[in-house]
Every structure is written in structure tokens, then in C-alpha cells.
């Protein structure tokens, strides 16, 4: 039976390699969107119209279990329809999460709800606020891939890195006539300027923060990558002029993608069980070796006082074939701003953001705060990789 909800309220490379006939995409109910930016300027026939949306904290009742096929969702949907009847606050929504330790796809299917719904299968929780780029997809699920890829291409063109969540909202779901289905596809991203401003204010106070951040108010999710890169370069120079290295690290390491707690828990358990950091290193590298990163280029080390870490390559095969600094940068950097800019002249302190991703793992694993860090290598200054030292105590 067709379901029409139009009026009813409403590993990171995996984000690009959709798999299972384009399983993952992203969307939110219109009634739950905090704000909407202007649509991208897309000429007819060039692709879907893209807009920017923000999901506020949202009460959500869902079934979260890995899947390898969309067919596995049907019995879950049947359970949800019965349990959530009369309590839904928006259309059926399918959330995919990435970089979590599951076999298959980390899937949660459910509804925004007006009150908690709890059964043996269904859990109610609050989805965190998150920005998305979005587009309407018309047609069957197995053609969603083209719409999702268009959203990722938009993020690349804007120099914005995707967060690790993607969702499909089924505005009109018609299993019997899938060509009639209408799905809002959305891809989450890190709203870097806004997060950066909040961290500047936290460390330096409102007035100094605004002076460093000047010009950031003109950036939108549609600002081209090279224009965005020029602003970032200028604000980093202003930051350096009035702060210490420790303050720069404190600010920029908090401007990173949010690391999945499920992944952190795996390595925390290994360290708690073995009390051996090398066991954690080995487990990390073994996992990375099964992905396009190919494992560490610069192996991690720990002597009890200094924890040395580095980034892995975004695309190890392309990195190994690279013959120019530009080819190497584009194959190495996960950060869309650095990877996609024509010629990014950014201070290497920008790499404290990468240290922030790693910091989210190592502080809970070791059970200590890592208040000091120094960049030792950076693609941005001509090194073959990016690396840093955390200083304990």
C-alpha cells in the first residue's frame, strides 16, 4: 500500500560508495527543520535542486540494527506502524550511520514522535542537532544513488566535509509502484564556521572571537571552496596573532567531526583488558588495512609521555600513485576544504582539526585529558603526511 506523508508534518568513504543499490541517503521531516537556506543555483537538467537544512534536537522512535538489504526493513516498518500509531510527528525516516563497528550498514528505521514509544524492538531517543544538504528524489530506491552523489558533489564543491549520518525521509512511499515514490534525500555536513565561532567564544570571549571570525557571517553552504579557503586562511592568521599554540589546539581540535561512541568503545575495551597501547594500535591498523586507507603511513607510538599519531590516506591506492604534491594532497586529505581547493595556502595549525578527531578516541581510551599537542608533519607545509604529538601531563 502506498504511504503519502507529504502533508503529515513531515567508514567515511562509505558515504561516497553507497553500495546495496544506493542504500544510504539523508532527509528530515519539513516540520522538524529549524531553518532552510536558499537553493543552489542549478540549471535545468544539471541535477536536483539542493537546499540546506538544520535538524533541531528531535525525539525519534526507531529500530536500530545492521542490514545488508533493504528487504530487511519491511518487517521492522510493520512493527513501527503499529507501535507509533497516533504518536508520529513526521514521516517514516531511515538513518544510516558510518564508521561504526557493524557488519553491513548501520541502519535505524523509525519515526519522529510526539512522545516516547518503547517496546522490545523499538527505542526512543533524541537525535542531535545537525545540518544537512538536501534534495528531493522521485522514483524507486535503487535510483537514489544519483541524488545522493549530487549532494556529495555539492559538498566537495563547497569544501564541506560530510558528517557520519545520512537519512532518507519517505514523503510518499509506494512499494507497489516505486516509480511514484518521493523521498527527501539529505547528507549531513560539519558546519565548520559556526562550530569554530563557538569554540573561539569559549576560549577567548565574545569580542576577540568576533574579530578573528570576521567575514564568517557571509559564508553559506553554497560558498565555493576556494572562496571558503581564502576566508579560513585569513582567520587562521588572525587567530595566530592573538593566541598561544595551546589555545590554537584547544580551539581547532574541537572543530572536528563527531566520532561515533560505538567505535571508541571497541578500542577502549581493548585497552581496559590489556593495558597495552600497542594492542590498540595493532587493532586499529588491522581494521584500517581492510579499508581504502590501507593503514598508517606513519606508525603511531607511545612512550608514556608522548603519544604520536598521524592521519591515514583518504585513498591509499591513489596516494601511492601520486607524482605531484597536488595529486598527493587530493589522495591524502579527508578534509574536503584541503582536498578540493585549487591551491590551499593554509597554516598547518589547521591540522589540529585532524588531531581533534583522534583526540576523541584517545582521551576516553587512556582515561586522561590531552591538553597539549604539536603538529610535527603536515601536507600543508610540503610533508608527505600529517602527524602530531600529544603531550601527557
CATH code for position 47: 3.20.80.10
Angstrom distance (rounded) from CA 103 to CA 99:
11
- CA gap 117, 354 in Å, rounded: 38
> Which pLDDT value is given to residue 163?
95
My answer on whether 223 and 337 are in the same domain is yes
Taking residue 297's Cβ as centre, other Cβ atoms within 10 Å add up to 19
Residue 139 shares a structural domain with residue 210? no
Classify residue 46 by its DSSP letter: S
Same domain, 174 and 263: no
Cell numbers describing residue 187: 547528507
Q: Given this model, what pLDDT does residue 142 score?
A: 85
Do 366 and 323 share a structural domain?
yes
C-alpha cell at 347: 597554516
Residues 200 and 78 in one domain: no
Q: What pLDDT does 65 receive?
A: 97
pLDDT tens for 137-157 read 999 988 888 999 999 999 999
User: Across the strands, what pairs with 309?
Assistant: 388
Question: Cell 578516541 maps to which residue?
Answer: 361
CA–CA–CA angle 127, 133, 137 (5° rounding)? 100
Q: Is 111 exposed, middle or buried (0-12, 13-18, 19+ CB in 10 A)?
A: buried
C-alpha cell at 34: 529549524
Same domain for 253 and 336: yes
Does 36 share its domain with 105? yes
Q: Do residues 48 and 147 share a domain?
A: yes
Contact between 370 and 305 under an 8 Å Cβ cutoff? The reply is no
Contact in structure between 139 and 168 (CB atoms under 8 Å): no
358 and 242 share one domain: yes
Supply the angle between the helices 206-213 and 225-242 in degrees, to the nearest 10.
140
Cβ distance 162 to 335 under 8 Å?
no
The upper half-sphere exposure of residue 56, i.e. CA atoms within 13 Å in the direction of its Cβ, equals 7
Any idea which residue has 572571537 for its cell?
209
Give the domain extent around 23: 3-189
Name the grid cell of 279: 594492542
User: Where does a domain end: 168, 189, 210?
Assistant: 189
pLDDT given at position 42 = 46
Distance CA 68, CA 207 (A): 51
User: What helix, strand, coil percent values describe the chain, rounded to 5?
Assistant: 40, 20, 40
C-alpha cell belonging to residue 149: 552523489
What's the pLDDT at 47? 81
**Residue 365: HSE in the Cβ half-sphere, 13 Å Cα cutoff:** 24
Cα(115)–Cα(95) distance, rounded to whole angstroms?
A: 19
Residue 293 near residue 314, CB atoms below 8 Å? yes
With the CA atoms of 68, 74, 80 and 81 taken in that order, what torsion angle do they form, in degrees rounded to the nearest 10? 160
C-alpha separations of 393 from 173, 244, 353 in Å: 56, 18, 21
The cell numbers describing 14, all together, are: 562509505
Which of 143, 164, 189 is the last residue in one of the domains? 189
Domain count, the chain: 2
**251 and 122 in one domain?**
no
* DSSP label of 176: T
Predicted model pTM: 0.88
Give the residue from 133, 158, 189 where a domain finishes.
189
Pair 33, 97 in one domain = yes
Helix (H) or strand (E) holding 302: strand 301-302
- Tell me: do 195 and 133 sit in the same domain: no
Query: What is residue 380's DSSP assignment?
Result: G
Specify burial of residue 169 (Cβ count, 10 A radius: 0-12, 13-18, 19+): buried
Taking a C-beta distance cutoff of 8 angstroms, is the pair 20, 68 a contact? yes
Collapse the DSSP code of 212 into the 3-class scheme (helix H, G, I; strand E, B; otherwise coil) and give the result: helix
Which residues of the chain fall below pLDDT 70? 1-45
Backbone angles phi, psi at 379, to 5 degrees: -55, -30
Amino acid at each position: 500500500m502506498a504511504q503519502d506523508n507529504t502533508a503529515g508534518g513531515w567508514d567515511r568513504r562509505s558515504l561516497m560508495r553507497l553500495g546495496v543499490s544506493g542504500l544510504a541517503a539523508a532527509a528530515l521531516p519539513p516540520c522538524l527543520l529549524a531553518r532552510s537556506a536558499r537553493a543552489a543555483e542549478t540549471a535545468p537538467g544539471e541535477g536536483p535542486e539542493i537546499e540546506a537544512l538544520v535538524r533541531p534536537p528531535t525525539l525519534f522512535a526507531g529500530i536500530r540494527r545492521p542490514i545488508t538489504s533493504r528487504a530487511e526493513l519491511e518487517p521492522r516498518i510493520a512493527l513501527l506502524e503499529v507501535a507509533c500509531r497516533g504518536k508520529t510527528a513526521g514521516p517514516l525516516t531511515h538513518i544510516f550511520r558510518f564508521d561504526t563497528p557493524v557488519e553491513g550498514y548501520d541502519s535505524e528505521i523509525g519515526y519522529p514522535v510526539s512522545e516516547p514509544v518503547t517496546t522490545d524492538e523499538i527505542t526512543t531517543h533524541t537525535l542531535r542537532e545537525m545540518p544537512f544538504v538536501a534534495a528531493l528524489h522521485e522514483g524507486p530506491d535503487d535510483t537514489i544513488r544519483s541524488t545522493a552523489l549530487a549532494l556529495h558533489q555539492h559538498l566537495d564543491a563547497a569544501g564541506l566535509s560530510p558528517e557520519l549520518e545520512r537519512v532518507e525521509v519517505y514523503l510518499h512511499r509506494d512499494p507497489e509502484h516505486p516509480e511514484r515514490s518521493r523521498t527527501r534525500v539529505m547528507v549531513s555536513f560539519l558546519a565548520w564556521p559556526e562550530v569554530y565561532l563557538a569554540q573561539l567564544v569559549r576560549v577567548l570571549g565574545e569580542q576577540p572571537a568576533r574579530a578573528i571570525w570576521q567575514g564568517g557571517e557571509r559564508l553559506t553552504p553554497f560558498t565555493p571552496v576556494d572562496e571558503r579557503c581564502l576566508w579560513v586562511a585569513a582567520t587562521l592568521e588572525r587567530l595566530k596573532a592573538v593566541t598561544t599554540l595551546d589555545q590554537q589546539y584547544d580551539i581547532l581540535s574541537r572543530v572536528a567531526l563527531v566520532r561515533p561512541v560505538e567505535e571508541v568503545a571497541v578500542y577502549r575495551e581493548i585497552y581496559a583488558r590489556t593495558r597495552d597501547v600497542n594492542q590498540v594500535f595493532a587493532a586499529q591498523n588491522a581494521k584500517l588495512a581492510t579499508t581504502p586507507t590501507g593503514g598508517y603511513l606513519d606508525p603511531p607510538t607511545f612512550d608514556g609521555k608522548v603519544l604520536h599519531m598521524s592521519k591515514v590516506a583518504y585513498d591509499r591506492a591513489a596516494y601511492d600513485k601520486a607524482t605531484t604534491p597536488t595529486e598527493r594532497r587530493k589522495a591524502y586529505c579527508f578534509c574536503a576544504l584541503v582536498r578540493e581547493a585549487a591551491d590551499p595556502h593554509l597554516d598547518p595549525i589547521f591540522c589540529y582539526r585532524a588531531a581533534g578527531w583522534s583526540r576523541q578516541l584517545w582521551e576516553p581510551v587512556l582515561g586522561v585529558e590531552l591538553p597539549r599537542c604539536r603538529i610535527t608533519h603536515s601536507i600543508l607545509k610540503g610533508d608527505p603526511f600529517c602527524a602530531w604529538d600529544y603531550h601527557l601531563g
